[in-house]
Structure 1
Amino acid sequence: MQRSRRDARSEGVRISPLPDRSLSGGFPMLIGRIIAFLFITALAITGGPTHEALGATAGLRGSQPLNIVDSGKSATAIIASPKAGRFESQAVNDLQKYIALMTGVALPIVNTPESIEKALASARPLLIVGQAAVENNASFKAKLAAVVKSDPHIRADGIGMLRDGNKIFLAGANDESHYFAVAELLRAWGVRWFMPGQFGECVPQETRLVVDNLKIFYAPPFELRSFWVSWLGESSGVTDFQLRNMMVDNNANVPPAGHALGQYTAGLGKSVFEIPLTDSNTADHVAKATEKLYAAGKDFSLSMEDGLYTATAASDAELNKLQWDKYSLRPSVSDAMLALLNGVARRLRESHPESRSKIGFLAYSNMFLPPVRTIMLEPALYGMLAPIDIDPIHSVQDPRSPPKQEYLGILKKWADITHGRLTIYDYDQSMLVWRDLPNPSHQAFEEDVKAYRDAGVLGIATESRMALATTFTNLYLRARLMWNPDADVHELLEDFYARFFGPAREPMRAYWSEIFDAWEKTIVTEHEYFVAPAIYTPELVERLGPFLQEAEKAVQKQPLSKNGELYVERLRFVRLGYETMRKYAEMVKAAASDLDFQKAVAAGQEGLRARDALTEMNKAFTASRLESGTAFWSGEVQHYQELLSWTNGEKGRILAPLPLEWSFHRDPDRTGKDRGFLSDPVDLSYWRAHRQDYDLEKLKDYPPTEWEMIRTDLYVQAQGIRHPDQQSFTGDIWYRTQIRLSARQAVANPHILFPGLFNACELFINGAEVAKRQQVEPWWVNDYRFEWDVPLINELNAGDNTIALRCHNTHHMGGMFRRPFLYTPVNSGGG
């Protein structure tokens, strides 16, 4: 039963009892999951500060609650080993610190042999931490050892929390795990670290801290649970944040897997990406270059460089034919690359059989797909799977995302090939080129993490940029799920709203739930800023505003206490994030839909100012230090400024806006020309009769034999153009429209400008091809302007003109995403 804050304060904060259960990999899977669920249920504090935690009940019959602090008084001492390690010492100090912050009482720390012996012989309450706990309770030590992985590849974490009379034993399997045990105790008392630094810390004010019958021993399924801050993102406070949320350093005993192969293959090919992978001389060369490292027992990386590889040896030719990588649009080099890596590792093992060196490699780029051939991987090789081109929005269980379901098969095969010597390198924020808008990940990760556990991977190393305006609760929820994959995300979020926003809990729940639902329900599977208008629609942005206003009013009514000041600061963060979002959405609509580039530039500049205010408020809120060029927000605004100059008379004048909606036809078999798509009348009778039968989800089943209508301000997959199996549509896509021009317009040196267009294309005017556009695949290697300017001198007629555009869509985004228009350059005599 939940209790109000008043009840919690007056009756005390209790760590409630848990039945005598241990959690370990030795349990059958079903029993282990049930117990893990009970564990997280016990630890979770839902619905706000009701503080019944660490137990399924409020207390066991006959239990005697132990007061740690009561009404500003305490007889409790903290016992610490004089040999305490770095994190163990921090655990002791933080236990003292946060109890004092909660209650105003600073407990004494006892850490000399004589004083420890005296304290242990007394009847006073004792919080015994780390080595002191293990050394003074043999049964506790044995039960902790029983749940911890006995044969780890990287590290073995685990915690024990036990009450024995007046003594509370808190310890872990290693130095960091000692801290984890203390962090779980503080968590049970209501302390939270939702984000790094003071901004994300929540410390309740309590008059009484109590421990009931407590007996928990638990080990997480993953050896590695980590993230690192890339893109020159703000990293202050990250170490403490990770530690307090049961994460470990990204380099903690993990075989390095950074891009490294190029330094060992220099001179063997035309470039680091064009080398003879299966040539025995290549393996000899790399083995010789790394022999000293291996002989010394040092771990090192042979990971591919960051690019697309071509295997050039004569012996590579047959392997190149084994599979086509549809994500990188290249032959897969997995078989050839693993032949090289295995050859190097075998040579090194045979030369130095005593070495325990680990060799890391990346399954990435066009080595992402597992090999076709059966291979026995050398035991020194440790893989890191980086799904950079896989849908990050949906989970591996979501039928709306065939790519994510394919990823599950890829994951399982790599885990099998490596015999579990595999870690996951994922991305959060998952929108790789983005616009500082919220980009939640929990809707996918809460299912993906279970798949990782079931596949037996070693763990997860996440590339983050911090950028809290984008990632928000992602890293916190990831931490809880990596520690226990059966954690209830709904309960964790309910707890977050109450503690982080206080009196604004309800409107903030509504605000963020709208955002989370938009991501949960979207059909888009891509991972760059082009998806933003498909998710942050004008309707969504408008719905969010009143919730934020209500939250601000709720906080204004509260007395200005320390927590009250934090609530104000957090809502200012949300307000600036909302203004950033609102202005970005306004900018995109003005440019992509309305061709109002002046308004787009103004809105974009206002949005950037809101983002700058976020950065000034806290550098961890954004990560824009590396942003330069058209791909990024400031570059997008500059692009609209340039487009404005082609329409306002500076460089050109607009002749005619082309329609926002065009006729559209799917052409998976590339037979559109023969079927009259160029100039035959467009028959929309089926569309008009059945449009209401096809919502966004059902458009995948629209007959490919019929014309339909589509907007030009959003790429086609986001508008429901998918295959019946929900794969993003690939093949040819056709746009058709008509434009009526005056005689003066037709001879005014007209150009057609596509301000946002993917794919290689052909443009047809009145049935004749007038231009062909080449694009390099994959799409992301092209200029992020995605612009196509075609002169149409002597191509347009006075009166009606038919414009047809055929796009060759090979993967991911297809078609137009900004509305095209006709313009004439200045001094051309037109108008």
Structure 2
Amino acid sequence: MRLNLVVVPVTLMFVPQSATAGSPRHDVTGHELRAHYVVLPAQPAPEETYAAAVLRDFVSLATGTAMPQTTEGDRPPLQGYGIYLGNTRRAAMEGVELSRLPSEEWRHLTCGRDIVLAGGSPRGTAYAVYEFIERHLGGAWLDPWTRYAPRCPERRIPRLDTRGRPAFAIRTLYNPFPSPADDGTLSQSQDFCAFNKVNSGGQARHGGAIVQIPPGGHTFGRFIPIDEFAKSNPEYFSMDAQGERQLTDRNTNNTCYYQFCPSNPNVRRIVVERALEWLRNDRRQAEQTGSEPARILNVTHNDMTDDFCLCPDCRAAIARHAGRQSGLLLEFINKVAEAVGKEFPKVTVVTNAYTFSLEPPSTIKPAANVLVICCNSIGNPEVCRPLAHPTNSASARLLADWGRVAGRMGVWHYLRTYPDHPPGFYMPGTNIRAIHADFSMLKDRGYDHMFAECEDFWAYGNTSHPTTDELQSFSPLRTWLVSKLLDQPYRGLDELLDTFFAGYYGAASEPMRALLNLIEDAQERSAARLIDLERFRHAEHLVDARMQLAANRLLDRAEKAVLDSPSHLSHVRRERMVFDSAFLWTEGILRRQAAKDLAEIKRDDVLRRYRACWQDYIQANYAASVRPAVAAHLAANLAAAEAVTARDTDPFAIVPRVPEADITVDGRLVEAAWRKAARLKLTPQHAFSTAAERHEVLVNCSATRFNLAFDLAVSKSHAPPTLMLCLAKNAGPGRQFTVALTAAKGAVEVQVSALDLEPPTMRKRLPVSGFAPSYSFKSDCVNGRWVGEVSLPFAEFDFPADLRRLYANVYFQTGAPDAPDKASHFVWSIAAKGNRATFIPSAYGTLDLEAPTSE
């Protein structure tokens, strides 16, 4: 791993700040920093020693000179003036009483030509040093491997009498960087977060962190583990709508993907007993080590379930709260908080409003020692636009509604999207302007606990699709910007961007800033709700041929400007990879838009450059111990891109045309249609099958029927697959109906479920099993080959008379025979107009209900 120490020679002038009135000893003029040395207390704390080392490193970057260091009482004293760090006698002489300062408040004070940098224990002094570096050296820690300070040998320090503290009390960045490894990667990531005042993680040298018991999110399984209670006490676990207890976890950690039954008194007793035991143990340890005790009890429900619990007692509780499962949650949390508050009155019980508990109740309020984190669920906010934007009215309403219910609030802010997409297909897009607007608004509304989720590629040490198999535009900038706004949300955006681009891109700062504006301006011009567009349609809509050309030329300029600076060049090429990926997966669309203009861009050249940039990125950003795993994943992604031709990347260039004469009365395809069928190469979303396989799929959409025929290769080790058709009036979650067709052991089961949350567009519910005469479905899965045909008449559903377009998804899903709930699946969408239709590897396509075109 390399640490990039970026030094840029510039000439700077610093205007001295006004001294505080009534402080005559601070009336000195600005003086040179290089005349100073660092002074530590006689027995410095770990965070004071570490902060001194960071200060000396940045002084060396900024001035080119090494700053000496000593401790109070050393003899003989050094020549020059002291920068006194932490709990020194000099600070006490000047009236800076650290014991009276909150744990994260910092002070800057000039005393003659000496400087005092101090703060409350345990992080205040460190924050004083980091603030001094940013304000008076122009320094910044931009990512775990890149520190920056503009060179100015004669830097002068103004008169100082300032204090401050971070704006938000709890500041969390969730997995923004590549996976930690055993060669210092974790240490560098923690150092970056500590410098930028993220207080949810850190070691003793950073002043520790805000301690949460138990750590992490989705903690129900920590209190009631499945492997401890499932066999002996199944009644401890939640009941689903069919009356079955959830006794398995779809994840291997046995803690995250299930719920317990909150109405069960023994569950409540165990949760309280374990919470008190953990808090007592933490308090004893804190007293022994002199560290901060836990301030948060983390009681947050688990993930990936449709409901909390639907046993009779829980159903009754939900009914008491007008059908809101959040009411059931708060009943449980308030009882836990009552018991905890008696022994630990300073501990806050934190819980999440998330998925089934996202809508607040009107019948119950959180207790005074409860803080509710509103998790603006995945797919709900349009992240490239501020929360105050009209497209995010639902998110704004949720925050406002919870604000009326809860006295103490936090926000789990999703700063990225999670669309399904072919592995390795990355999409230009960012939300820098939106983030800047959001954080000041949330502070104005009184939110005190901020959790920013912004994973990037390989963030967990794996590529759980699509969560971490995603390379996002300007992700390093986004992460750094969020850390700055968690500290001070009212800082000007241009000032912050000036610092980041100067340090991260050096001489390429201007074209890279133009690239950011190119993306943001395109998003602002769009009238679409971009989060609802599947990746191909998103790319076609936003990253058109004109934008690709402009980006390519800006990136050419940027690379040329930093050819002699490896770290800056690596940063530029990271952004190039996102655009190159989008080009490789949408080339057919782009050339259809502007073939002549794109003649200068050759696919083979882009592929070679894409591979080389990835290899450089892995070398620069990943520890040696994890590089082989990252490279293996990358090889599969590159193989998928290389296997796709330009023709494959234009959905309408590979449309199978099925004449009406080839469709029987019941919607089946005649044998002639199969003989004439082209074989389509479809890229699976997951590792269920390889990208090199070719699957034969035919789609026909007439004015009255939807027809599908398929001949797919499937793994012999998996159970027979399920075909699930999802049609929606509008794109996006919660506004669709699903037809699930399952072929298993020769039997056919059919279920249609209406999921429309808007005024219903489909009121038809098919029988649980079997088809009406007007439906047709047959399927057979033998020896690794799955063959089937489906026909659904549109007339059977109650569509509005003026509806002319549907969104359609098709999922082919299968699970291992011994674990059908652990399903791998791959997804394609239908892109169709009349009877011209095809599958594209995506999440949402469109289906126009128009008269069939003539063949």
Closer, same or farther: CA 97–276 of 1 in aligned 2, 3 Å: closer
Residue 555 of structure 2 corresponds to residue 548 of structure 1: yes
Larger deviation: 540-549 or 234-243? 234-243
Q: Secondary structure at the match of 1:578?
A: helix
Q: How does 1:225-304 map to 2 (within 5 A)?
A: 225-229=171-175, 233-234=179-180, 235-236=185-186, 237-250=188-201, 252-255=210-213, 256=215, 258-262=217-221, 264-265=223-224, 266=229, 267=234, 268-269=236-237, 270-271=245-246, 273=258, 276-288=261-273, 290=275, 292-293=277-278, 296=281, 300-304=297-301
In angstroms, what is the RMSD of aligned CA positions?
5.5
Q: How does 1:175-190 map to 2 (within 5 A)?
A: 175-190=122-137
* 8 A contact 1:645–1:652 mirrored in 2: no
Quote the Cα distance in structure 2 between the aligned partners of 1:577 and 1:336: 44
Closer, same or farther: CA 424–86 of 1 in aligned 2, 3 Å: farther
Q: Secondary structure at the match of 2:479?
A: helix
Which residue among 337, 340, 346 is the counterpart of 2:338? 346
Which residue among 506, 509, 517 is the counterpart of 1:505? 509
Alpha-carbon distance, 1:167 to partner: 0.9
Post-superposition Cα deviations, 1:750-801, rounded to whole Å, max 9, x if no partner, equal 99xxxxxxxxx984489999xx99989xxx99976334799xxxxxxxxxx9
Residue 121 of structure 2 corresponds to residue 174 of structure 1: yes
Alpha-carbon distance, 1:78 to partner: 1.3
Q: Structure 1: which 5+ residue stretches go unaligned?
A: 23-59, 70-74, 150-155, 325-330, 658-676, 681-713, 723-727, 735-748, 752-760, 791-800, 806-812, 821-830
Which residue among 597, 609, 612 is the counterpart of 2:611? 609
Q: Tell me the number of residue pairs that the alignment of Structure 1 and Structure 2 aligns.
A: 635
1:99 corresponds to? 59
Matched letter for residue 313 of structure 1: C
Alpha-carbon distance, 1:66 to partner: 0.8
* 8 A contact 1:224–1:459 mirrored in 2: yes
* 8 A contact 1:15–1:188 mirrored in 2: no
* 8 A contact 2:810–2:827 mirrored in 1: no
Quote the Cα distance in structure 2 between the aligned partners of 1:221 and 1:750: 61
Matched letter for residue 66 of structure 1: H
Alpha-carbon distance, 1:109 to partner: 0.5
Alpha-carbon distance, 1:335 to partner: 0.8
Q: Secondary structure at the match of 1:481?
A: helix
Residue 436 of structure 2 corresponds to residue 449 of structure 1: no
* 8 A contact 1:576–1:610 mirrored in 2: no
Q: Secondary structure at the match of 1:312?
A: coil
Q: Secondary structure at the match of 1:131?
A: coil
Post-superposition Cα deviations, 1:715-767, rounded to whole Å, max 9, x if no partner, equal 9659xx99xxxxx9956789xxxxxxxxxxxxxx999xxxxxxxxx9844899
Q: Structure 2: which 5+ residue stretches go unaligned?
A: 1-6, 202-208, 238-244, 248-257, 284-293, 458-470, 596-600, 658-671, 681-701, 706-727, 737-755, 763-776, 780-789, 799-806, 812-820, 850-854
Q: How does 1:21-60 map to 2 (within 5 A)?
A: none
Which residue among 315, 334, 339 is the counterpart of 2:313? 315
Alpha-carbon distance, 1:170 to partner: 1.3
Q: How does 1:569-584 map to 2 (within 5 A)?
A: 569-584=570-585
Alpha-carbon distance, 1:242 to partner: 1.2
* 8 A contact 1:360–1:384 mirrored in 2: yes
Which residue among 452, 456, 459 is the counterpart of 1:462? 452
Residue 392 of structure 2 corresponds to residue 407 of structure 1: no
Post-superposition Cα deviations, 1:21-47, rounded to whole Å, max 9, x if no partner, equal 99xxxxxxxxxxxxxxxxxxxxxxxxx
Q: Secondary structure at the match of 2:66?
A: coil
Closer, same or farther: CA 407–584 of 1 in aligned 2, 3 Å: farther
* 8 A contact 2:36–2:67 mirrored in 1: yes
Q: Secondary structure at the match of 1:486?
A: coil
Post-superposition Cα deviations, 1:412-465, rounded to whole Å, max 9, x if no partner, equal 24xx52x32x44333344446574445533322222212332333332233343
Closer, same or farther: CA 773–495 of 1 in aligned 2, 3 Å: closer
* 8 A contact 2:729–2:761 mirrored in 1: no
* 8 A contact 2:827–2:843 mirrored in 1: no
Matched letter for residue 547 of structure 2: L
* 8 A contact 1:232–1:626 mirrored in 2: no
2:49 corresponds to? 89
Matched letter for residue 17 of structure 1: Q
2:545 corresponds to? 538
Q: How does 1:695-706 map to 2 (within 5 A)?
A: none
* 8 A contact 1:408–1:451 mirrored in 2: no
Quote the Cα distance in structure 2 between the aligned partners of 1:333 and 1:592: 49
Which residue among 132, 135, 148 is the counterpart of 2:88? 132
* 8 A contact 1:446–1:485 mirrored in 2: yes
Closer, same or farther: CA 79–368 of 1 in aligned 2, 3 Å: same
Q: Secondary structure at the match of 1:405?
A: helix
Alpha-carbon distance, 1:130 to partner: 1.7
Which residue among 148, 154, 159 is the counterpart of 1:213? 159
Post-superposition Cα deviations, 1:576-608, rounded to whole Å, max 9, x if no partner, equal 3432343244377699999xxxx9999997797
Post-superposition Cα deviations, 1:320-368, rounded to whole Å, max 9, x if no partner, equal 35789xxxxxx6421112212223343555xx64676554432222112
Q: How does 1:696-775 map to 2 (within 5 A)?
A: 730=758, 763-764=792-793
Post-superposition Cα deviations, 1:363-401, rounded to whole Å, max 9, x if no partner, equal 22211222231234262x443332233312222211232
Which residue among 84, 102, 106 is the counterpart of 1:159? 106
Q: Secondary structure at the match of 1:14?
A: coil
* 8 A contact 1:555–1:568 mirrored in 2: yes
Quote the Cα distance in structure 1 between the aligned partners of 2:412 and 2:479: 14
Alpha-carbon distance, 1:240 to partner: 1.6
Q: Secondary structure at the match of 1:311?
A: coil
Closer, same or farther: CA 353–502 of 1 in aligned 2, 3 Å: closer
Quote the Cα distance in structure 1 between the aligned partners of 2:499 and 2:120: 28
2:143 corresponds to? 196
Quote the Cα distance in structure 2 between the aligned partners of 1:423 and 1:395: 17
Quote the Cα distance in structure 2 between the aligned partners of 1:369 and 1:185: 43
* 8 A contact 1:362–1:384 mirrored in 2: yes
* 8 A contact 1:302–1:341 mirrored in 2: yes
* 8 A contact 2:172–2:200 mirrored in 1: yes
* 8 A contact 2:221–2:259 mirrored in 1: no
Alpha-carbon distance, 1:139 to partner: 3.0
Matched letter for residue 304 of structure 2: G
2:724 corresponds to? none
1:72 corresponds to? none
Alpha-carbon distance, 1:507 to partner: 1.9
TM-score normalized with structure 1 length: 0.63
* 8 A contact 1:679–1:802 mirrored in 2: no
Matched letter for residue 196 of structure 1: D
Residue 40 of structure 2 corresponds to residue 80 of structure 1: yes
Post-superposition Cα deviations, 1:211-241, rounded to whole Å, max 9, x if no partner, equal 1222221122211223142796355421121
Q: Secondary structure at the match of 1:516?
A: helix
2:386 corresponds to? 395
Quote the Cα distance in structure 1 between the aligned partners of 2:509 and 2:830: 50
Residue 355 of structure 2 corresponds to residue 365 of structure 1: yes
* 8 A contact 2:808–2:830 mirrored in 1: no
Q: How does 1:412-423 map to 2 (within 5 A)?
A: 412-413=403-404, 417=406, 419-420=407-408, 422-423=409-410
Quote the Cα distance in structure 1 between the aligned partners of 2:586 and 2:160: 51
2:711 corresponds to? none
Closer, same or farther: CA 261–181 of 1 in aligned 2, 3 Å: same
Closer, same or farther: CA 385–544 of 1 in aligned 2, 3 Å: same
Quote the Cα distance in structure 2 between the aligned partners of 1:354 and 1:733: 52
Closer, same or farther: CA 68–619 of 1 in aligned 2, 3 Å: closer
Residue 14 of structure 2 corresponds to residue 68 of structure 1: no
Matched letter for residue 95 of structure 1: L
Closer, same or farther: CA 608–411 of 1 in aligned 2, 3 Å: farther
* 8 A contact 1:428–1:463 mirrored in 2: yes
TM-score normalized with structure 2 length: 0.62
Alpha-carbon distance, 1:509 to partner: 1.8
Quote the Cα distance in structure 2 between the aligned partners of 1:603 and 1:332: 56
The alignment-based identity, stated in percent, is: 13
Matched letter for residue 76 of structure 1: H
